[in-house]
Structure 1
Amino acid sequence: MELKSKNLFGAILLFIVLDLSILVINYWITYQISKDAIAINLSGRQRMLSQSMTKSLLMLQSQHSVELIRATHEEFRDSVSVFDETLLAFKHGGLTVNSDGEIIRLSRVDSFPEAGLIDQTIQIWRPMHELLLPYMTGSLDMPEQLIIQLREQMIHNNLQILDLMNRLTSGLERQSLQRANTLRIIQTIVFFLALFNFLFIVRKFHLLARQSAMKTQHYNELAMRDPLTELFNRRQFESNLEKEVATVDRHQHSNIALVMIDLDGFKPINDKYGHEVGDVVLCTIATRLSEGARVNDTVARVGGDEFMLICPDLHNKEDADAFCQRLLTELSQPILTNVGQVSVGASIGIAFYPDHADNINDLTRMADKAMYTAKSFGKNRYVCLDPTRIDVKPG
């Protein structure tokens, strides 16, 4: 039982661990999807920034108002700054800003081939960035010749950057999907492990509950049974007698017979051959009484060599005579023991409720008196006693 309790405790602990693992994996999936979504969105934004820088360079070479030129310069610088910052964050990991201007942390892209796409983009972007670096701070405007040079490089490189960023976006999406699927597979495995473990716990609880019920039933049986003969003991017999009397009181046309039996000649056998032989005799008598009783009868051992029966609905005295005569015949048969055959007789007293008594105490007293009357008339016989007459029948 201690081992089973330890197994059950281990199963419950494992279930808790698996359940927590499912929650952690679910949180991790959500976190990874959120993080991957940021990277995917930023890779898409890089394409837009590349297009924006190309457009700004084309506008700077056109004839526009001074205010528009300055606004275009500012927009170009912002696009270059964010593009470069995001590209470095992809390469090394770090801080950048999202489309709402919020500072976010971007994890380093180190998977293949996505990391290679970042390196190629940096290789294309680096010469342009070095040309732009002196003009990224302050209000210094870019000279016309630089704008022409940058425009030509941007027009030449824009398609490559767009292609690389498209491939990066696709790669990040594929990587995110694979990671999510892997985590979901692990989550599914853990879920089924938790489910099987839960079913194991339920089964264990069911088995323990059934064992507990069986043990309780066993203890109840021990509490109501005579340990030697396994017949009902006196306490259970009295409880059954109360129930039978209550049943008779509810059904006025029925009755019960209380049969009291005391063995004749048992004490000399027990004294001569010892308790081992005496126990064999008592168990044999108990078996014969159980086999001789009817289905609804209650048989009990109420003392050392005293037995009692509750017999509902023995309808008349003739039925009682036949029943008691059969018991006397069965009980007087020789009993085989390890010292040879021994024989005992029986003195039987019988009283009816409600014919001979109107309560349990008087009924018991009448049956007891009838049994001792049988002994006084020579033993091995039965007596049906009522307040007006005594009927003695020899075995």
Structure 2
Amino acid sequence: MSMYSGIKNSLASFSKKEGSSLTVLAIVLFLLFDFIALSLNVWLSYRIEQQAININLSGRQRMLSQRMVKTLLLMDKNIQNEQVYLEYLEELSSTFDRFEYTLDAFHRGGRTFSAESDMIEVAPLTSEATREIINQALREWAPLRQKVRQLIGREFDMLLLQQANDVAQRKNLALLALMNALTVELEHETQEEAQRIRFFQGIAFLLALVNFSVAIILYRLRVRKAHHTLDLVDNIMNRIATGIIVVDASGSIVRANKVMAEMSGFSQQELLNKKKSVLLVDYEGKTYGLRKYGERYHCKLEVSKVTLNNKPATVYTVIDDSVSVAQQQELAQLAYHDQLTDLPNRHLFKDRLDLELKHASRRGEKLAVLFIDLNGFKSVNDQYGHKFGDLLLGRVAVRMRDTVRESDTVARIGGDEFTLILTDVANYQQCKALVEKILAAICKPYLIQDIVVDVGASIGVACFPDDAQEEADLLSLADKAMYQSKASGESRITFASAWRSPDD
């Protein structure tokens, strides 16, 4: 109390000499802190946008790497059919360019293709972790890059095609692992950067509160000396970029500034004598702001006890935090969900798989992991365009989500590839019935923009704990089983092993 009294007396003494200067200083500082907070919000939005582009591009690199491997295999299979071979060669060239440009842009900065095939400018990755991953990827990519470039230039060269296939088989898994590690690192860096910016926002908010506390002390001192200073304080409150209300001992509002009126939807006159509960409400341990028609919003709140006309009162400083909360939710959405289908992405899928494996192991239950690759999607995409293809992927996602149970997980990991987790699978017959139901749903015709199209699906299934007990082993087995289905050229289901129930 002695320190508070000393500060109060010093301010009182200084106020007598430089009252107007203190008022101007308080207003300038509030404007400065408000500008800093706004600048940090703009910077956070810009960084989220840039990092989201990099996250999407790194995820696309994995899909492009897999597409090159599949295209090389299909070229080898159709070496005798010149027209089909050349079509796959053209696809290989397009995929190669996208992968090459993006990897080079990550390394040195430059232009690459967006999802809509437009050229976009990408800044080089600068952190030590991402630079190390990119350098490793360049080393793994170099031998495959050389063979593919030679193959594109020579067209029909069976020996070179075989060499390219061999290199692709050796390097694909390493490239996939590096691109996945890059995606995870970019997401981690985005979260850390957002936390740092929010830390500085908190400092700016704290300084604003300190400055406001000084202004409140000055307000109380000036009220005691002259009634006309109330107009000056009101002017200060109305210039502050945060909502302010003064509440008496009965909980009634005796003063509110313009910002508080704008935030709530009431006029300043309407707020007078209303209860504080019309503006602030406690819900599940948090305080929320209320607007005139009942809408609730996130807010930050600072409470100060004061004396008004020799009576106790409380000053509430209210900051609308809805934009900051929305930005955090947007960041989480970008980091954990596929933007096209709104399904969980690879990162969230692996988190859920890890959790479901622990539950299944603890409860002694079985679960199945599915890898699904659409058949015929490329031809639909080529014939009707990428936007049409995106609509088709959205419809496929909806059908799968509607077919499985609430406890199951459907995820899109890139391109036309999906993964599923089927929980609490009692036996082989139940698992097979569920997977066949999913396949039947996917293979039904689709009506999009008055056009009827058909796609199929190649499905690989691995079961816990019969096929494998580790996450990586299950994913690898399901992926290999999917490629066995793909090799048949038809829509089919391949189980990773001969898992059967005793009755089968």
TM-score normalised by the chain length of structure 2: 0.41
Post-superposition offset of 1:339: 6.3
CA contact 1:15–1:194 (8 Å) conserved in 2: no
Post-superposition offset of 1:312: 1.2
Post-superposition offset of 1:300: 0.8
Higher relative contact order (CA 8 A, sep 6+): 1
Post-superposition offset of 1:341: 0.9
Distance 1:10 1:372, change over 3 A: closer
SS at match of 1:346: strand
Q: What is the aligned partner in structure 1 of residue 478 from structure 2?
A: 367
Comparing 238-247 with 220-229, greater Cα deviation is found at 238-247
The 1-side partners of 2:382 and 2:446 are apart by: 16
Written as runs of structure 1 = structure 2, the 5 A alignment for 1:1-395 is: 17=215, 19-26=217-224, 28=225, 194-195=246-247, 196-197=255-256, 200=260, 203=289, 205=300, 208-251=320-363, 253-338=364-449, 340-386=451-497, 388=498
State which structure, 1 or 2, has the greater radius of gyration over its C-alpha atoms: 1
Distance 1:276 1:25, change over 3 A: closer
Post-superposition offset of 1:12: 9.2
Amino acid across the alignment from 1:246: K
Q: What is the aligned partner in structure 1 of residue 98 from structure 2?
A: none
The 2-side partners of 1:232 and 1:298 are apart by: 8
For residues 190-239 of structure 1, the C-alpha deviation after alignment (integer angstroms, 9 at most, x for no partner) is 99964444994985536643432232122111111111111111122112
SS at match of 2:468: coil
Q: What is the aligned partner in structure 1 of residue 95 from structure 2?
A: none
CA contact 2:360–2:424 (8 Å) conserved in 1: no
Amino acid across the alignment from 2:300: F
The 2-side partners of 1:390 and 1:284 are apart by: 33
Post-superposition offset of 1:19: 4.3
Give the unaligned 5+ runs of structure 2.
Answer: 1-33, 39-204, 238-243, 248-254, 264-279, 281-288, 290-298, 302-318
Distance 1:197 1:273, change over 3 A: same
Q: What is the aligned partner in structure 1 of residue 272 from structure 2?
A: none
The 1-side partners of 2:321 and 2:414 are apart by: 36
Distance 1:20 1:246, change over 3 A: same
Post-superposition offset of 1:254: 1.4
Comparing 285-294 with 200-209, greater Cα deviation is found at 200-209
For residues 240-291 of structure 1, the C-alpha deviation after alignment (integer angstroms, 9 at most, x for no partner) is 212222222333x112210111111111111222211111111110111111
CA contact 1:224–1:233 (8 Å) conserved in 2: yes
CA contact 2:461–2:481 (8 Å) conserved in 1: yes
SS at match of 2:388: helix
The 2-side partners of 1:260 and 1:304 are apart by: 13
Distance 1:12 1:340, change over 3 A: farther
Post-superposition offset of 1:385: 2.5
Post-superposition offset of 1:14: 7.5
Distance 1:4 1:284, change over 3 A: farther
The 2-side partners of 1:205 and 1:342 are apart by: 52
Amino acid across the alignment from 1:22: R
The 2-side partners of 1:194 and 1:12 are apart by: 17
Q: Which structure shows the bigger proportion of residues in strand conformation?
A: 2
Post-superposition offset of 1:384: 2.0
Distance 1:4 1:331, change over 3 A: farther
The 2-side partners of 1:315 and 1:11 are apart by: 59
TM-score normalised by the chain length of structure 1: 0.51
The 2-side partners of 1:10 and 1:208 are apart by: 14
CA contact 1:350–1:370 (8 Å) conserved in 2: yes
CA contact 1:347–1:379 (8 Å) conserved in 2: yes
